[in-house]
Amino acid sequence: MLDPKGRVAMISGANRGIGLAIAKTLSDAGYKLSLGARKPDSIDTSALAGEAITHEWQAQDAGTSSQWVEATRAHYGRIDALVMNAGVIFPADIETGSEDEMDTMWEVNFKGPLRLVRAALPALRDAGHGRVVNVVSLSGIRLMSEGSLGYSASKFASMALTHAIRQNGWDAGIRATAICPGLVDTDMVSHVQTPDGEFKIEAQTIADTTAYALALPDSASVAEIKVNSRLEAMF
């Protein structure tokens, strides 16, 4: 496994939810962090064990992707890992929901990560063992329920992006993993009640899974990690 000590990781949406849990876990493991958020002041770095800088990142604004990557490289001199975590969900299906909200999900859940990885790839190549974790969803693998078409479409595209990164970066030692959870206990699904026998995954579990994926050696590429919170057939 790769030793995380001194490696530099960027995390999007690091101010709350899964992103904040990932930031704490990677900091405890010894990573130096560059944390992105729409409002960088909303990131609380006081509980982090190691060095962390913050930067504005707006998924819809390509300029903030390159600015954040440049600021990270200027500060640390390298980028070893990119965690593409930020995302949004709105209910939208064939006969319900607005096209504007579908467009927003496409922009944030697919175009945002695309913009980030485009900007970061040269630094990840230079790092030698660059790692990318894309926090996707089981909704990037299967259609869950009425109302989930817009979210799923953006997450299916995000899955394709993860596989494209694997192929693009392979010869340079870059490895990419899509982490695909079911329900995770964050603000995003706080309105969802789980029936008996179904659960919400703790954000910490996804953070630990992320740390594991980032530490895998070049010789053990894991393309997808599916994390179920309820019993369903998976392929």
Ligand X SMILES: NC(=O)c1ccc[n+]([C@@H]2O[C@H](COP(=O)([O-])OP(=O)(O)OC[C@H]3O[C@@H](n4cnc5c(N)ncnc54)[C@H](OP(=O)(O)O)[C@@H]3O)[C@@H](O)[C@H]2O)c1
Which residue among the candidates 31, 76, 151, 212 is catalytic per the annotation? 151
Task: Kindly give the residue spans of alpha helices, DSSP state H, lying in the chain.
Answer: 17-29, 62-76, 99-105, 112-127, 149-169, 203-215
Report how far apart, in Å, the C-alpha atoms of 11 and of each of 37, 69, 87, 230 are. 9, 11, 12, 27
Closest distance to ligand X from the beta carbon of 217 (Å): 26
By CB under 6 A, name the binding residues for ligand X. Answer: 13, 15-19, 37-39, 57-60, 85-88, 108, 135, 137, 181, 183-184, 186-189
Report d(CA 235, CA 224) in Å as an integer.
Answer: 11
Q: Collapsing DSSP states into helix, strand and coil, what is residue 4?
A: coil
Gyration radius of the chain over CA positions = 17
Closest distance to ligand X from the beta carbon of 96 (Å): 19
Task: Report the Cα 100 to chain-centroid distance in Å.
Answer: 23
Closest distance to ligand X from the beta carbon of 69 (Å): 15
Closest distance to ligand X from the beta carbon of 168 (Å): 21
212 in active site: no
Which is closer to ligand X, CB of 32 or CB of 64? 64
Report d(CA 117, CA 11) in Å as an integer.
Answer: 12
Q: What is the set of active-site residues?
A: 151
